Amino acid sequence: MKRQRLTREQSKDQTRLRLLDAAQAIFMKKGFVAASVEDIAGAAGYTRGAFYSNFRSKNELFLELLRRDHEAMQAGLQTIFENAATREEMEERVLRYYSNLHRENKCFLLWVEAKLLAVRDGRFRIRFNAFLHEKLEQLSAYIREFSTRVGTPLPLPAETLAMGLMGLCDGVQFFYTVDPQNVSSEMAETVLAGFFARVVFGRDP
Amino acid sequence: MKRQRLTREQSKDQTRLRLLDAAQAIFMKKGFVAASVEDIAGAAGYTRGAFYSNFRSKNELFLELLRRDHEAMQAGLQTIFENAATREEMEERVLRYYSNLHRENKCFLLWVEAKLLAVRDGRFRIRFNAFLHEKLEQLSAYIREFSTRVGTPLPLPAETLAMGLMGLCDGVQFFYTVDPQNVSSEMAETVLAGFFARVVFGRDP
DNA sequence: GCATTCTAATACACACCTGTATTTGAATGT
DNA sequence: ACATTCAAATACAGGTGTGTATTAGAATGC
């Protein structure tokens, strides 16, 4: 266990990372607006000096946070289509992935906060919407890919399906997040699976 | 145009109403957390004294605001089923209502803010979830009513349909609200109508 | 080893908000 | 008319936050 001296770059990267992780936790707990720069720096074990030396503003840090999660989710999506199999297996895999999204998606609240910020801050909106747009396009591409692989034409245009499925998932997850007492994880799954199967496959799950 | 002296009760009701309307506007513009009691009172043409004399807290006022909108929406929903008609006309009416919700729903952002607050404030959550729960139950009831009227069994349990449809609508409207440039009102309508028709009617709109 | 460079801490000056306590003045009741 | 009551304004006593400017000290380079 050698704790050797860190070079400047290593040290700064470490600080940056700790600030990002701390900010994520604080944003989850208190919300973006209520989270102060002091809270974040403090939770990471620094003072505001470290924060402003690493990020121009809270918004800047937030976008970085979203970029991290955006890339992670993109990577997760990619794995579904690897190791192609029979049509039945593909359908089953896609359905299970979709109807369990609400359990995985740890950063959901972050994206909701970001959307609200985007509504009110034009600068932020431009950069944020780039993520949303990319997400929609990637999902559309996967949907087309799926259609080709299973050899069935799509019931609706890929873009329409993409937006509907993302919207549905977000909407249902919001219910689940706000009121897990009444809206159980199983209920959310039932809804997602039910709608997905009817819209995409035209049958029951 | 007689501007006669107001009685105490009238005057207080007026103040209360102005505060509520001002708060709604401010919450929309700046968000609930960023809105200060001073902002609200100021926008209504009063000082904080008037605010605290009419509401216990910002949360309290917020719940009142939600109650107003909740009742208005409930009333809107009720009108669809009045003047029963043929099966085709009913389906058409329901479909049009649903796929245009995102245009009417002026207070959408208020409900998003409320959900975020509910996640973080236990007291608020209990009272807020009562609204959500009631909304879900009412919608389920209407769905059952619809099924009876058109004489077709439901493709999914009424509760499942209710949650899915509400979630879908919320999710799609969020896209539309955040990025109306890329996600047009027509696009939102297409998605809502497409999903609704496939899930509920098992056919294209 | 000494000067330089850069990260993070600290100092500063100011802005804004909260909730309660007290006061003011208009509406009410007799 | 006069005393009472109540809505809303104002006074008060803090508390928290911001961003910049300056400083301290460790890493780097010669």
Of A32-36, A79-83, A157-161, B92-96, where does mean pLDDT reach its minimum? A79-83
- This prediction's pTM: 0.95
* pLDDT-derived band at A98, boundaries 50, 70, 90: very high
Three-state secondary-structure class, residue B46: coil
- List CB contacts of A70: < 8 A, sequence separation 6 or more: A131, A134, A135
Mean pLDDT, range B61-89, rounded to an integer: 90
CA–CA gap between residue B110 and residue B88 (Å, rounded): 35
pLDDT at A2: 36
pLDDT at B5: 62
Domains annotated for chain B, with CATH where assigned, are: 8-55 (1.10.10.60), 59-200 (1.10.357.10)
Question: Which bases of strand C have any atom within 7 Å of the beta carbon of a protein residue?
Answer: 6-11, 16-22, 26-28
Nearest to A174 among B156, B170, B195 (CB): B170
- Which of B172, B190, B170 lies closest to B180, judged by CA? B172
Q: Between chains, do B168 and A194 touch, taking CB under 8 Å as contact?
A: no
In the numeric block, the tokens 């890339």 are attached to: A71
- Taking each helix axis from N to C terminus, what angle separates A158-178 and A122-150, rounded to the nearest 10 degrees? 120
CA–CA gap between residue B113 and residue B117 (Å, rounded): 6
Residue–nucleotide distance: B5 CA to C27 C1' (Å):
10
- Which of A119, A5, A128 lies closest to A62, judged by CA? A128
CA–CA gap between residue B132 and residue B115 (Å, rounded): 10
The tokens for A139 are 């999902």
pLDDT, one tens digit per residue, over B10-22 is 899 999 999 999 9
Q: Between chains, do A167 and B174 touch, taking CB under 8 Å as contact?
A: yes
Q: Are B62 and B83 in contact (CB under 8 A)?
A: no
* pLDDT-derived band at A9, boundaries 50, 70, 90: confident
pLDDT at A1: 34
Query: For B147, phi and psi rounded to 5 degrees?
Result: -60, -45
- List CB contacts of A87: < 8 A, sequence separation 6 or more: A149, A150, A151
Q: Are A171 and B168 in contact (CB under 8 A)?
A: yes
CA–CA gap between residue A36 and residue A41 (Å, rounded): 9
pLDDT at B101: 97
Residues at the strand C interface (Cβ < 7 Å) = A 8, 11-12, 14-15, 41, 46-50, 53-54; B 5-9, 11, 36-39, 48-49, 52, 57-58
CA–CA gap between residue B205 and residue B194 (Å, rounded): 6
Q: Are A25 and A43 in contact (CB under 8 A)?
A: yes
pLDDT at A3: 40
- Look at residue B156 and tell me whether its pLDDT is greater than 70: yes
pLDDT at B82: 80
